[in-house]
Amino acid sequence: MKGLTSIELAILLAIIIVIAVAVGWYMYTTFLSSTTGAAKVEIVSAQYSISAKNLTLQVINPGPVNNVGVASITLAGQQCSVGSSLTIPMQSSPVTITVSCGSIPAAVGSTLQGTLTLTSGASYPFVATVVS
């Protein structure tokens, strides 16, 4: 009996590569399915009232986290007052969040840049319309 020819070695190598790819794919999908989803929010609308000095956000939490905690909200570089337990429940309809932002100089009809930061550390920028 002679040694393996080059075609036999190529077939053996191909089989080993197929098995290695299959095992790698199995490990990847197993790890991927065991990780939990990150909190997500969608900011539908944002309005800053000059007279009331507050910011009103319409926010949706589509999941997969049941209650998403809000760590901070900034508007035009100014920190808004957020309660210690402000959460957004998971639902398909928007939730209204109203926070006090103090006096921010802006003209009615203009827009202000803001950021909603979750307790997980994720930040979501938004643009607020200034109303009277």
* Structural domain count, the chain: 2
User: pLDDT tens digit string along 63-120?
Assistant: 888 899 999 999 999 999 987 788 999 999 999 999 999 899 999 999 999 999 999 8
**CATH number, domain containing residue 60:** 2.60.40
Give yes or no: residues 1 and 51 share one domain: no
DSSP 8-state assignment for residue 10: H
State which residues form the domain around 76. 42-131
Give yes or no: residues 127 and 86 share one domain: yes
Q: Using alpha carbons only, give the angle 101, 103, 105 rounded to the nearest 5 degrees.
A: 120
In this model, does residue 1 exceed pLDDT 60? no
Q: Which two three-digit tokens encode residue 114?
A: 């803001």
Give yes or no: residues 17 and 65 share one domain: no
Give yes or no: residues 87 and 22 share one domain: no
- Is the whole-model pTM more than 0.85? no
Give yes or no: residues 50 and 20 share one domain: no
Give yes or no: residues 65 and 21 share one domain: no
Give yes or no: residues 113 and 60 share one domain: yes
Give yes or no: residues 69 and 95 share one domain: yes
Give yes or no: residues 48 and 93 share one domain: yes
User: pLDDT tens digit string along 26-49?
Assistant: 998 888 766 667 788 999 999 999
In angstroms, the CA 65 to CA 85 distance is 16
Give yes or no: residues 22 and 66 share one domain: no
In angstroms, the CA 116 to CA 119 distance is 10
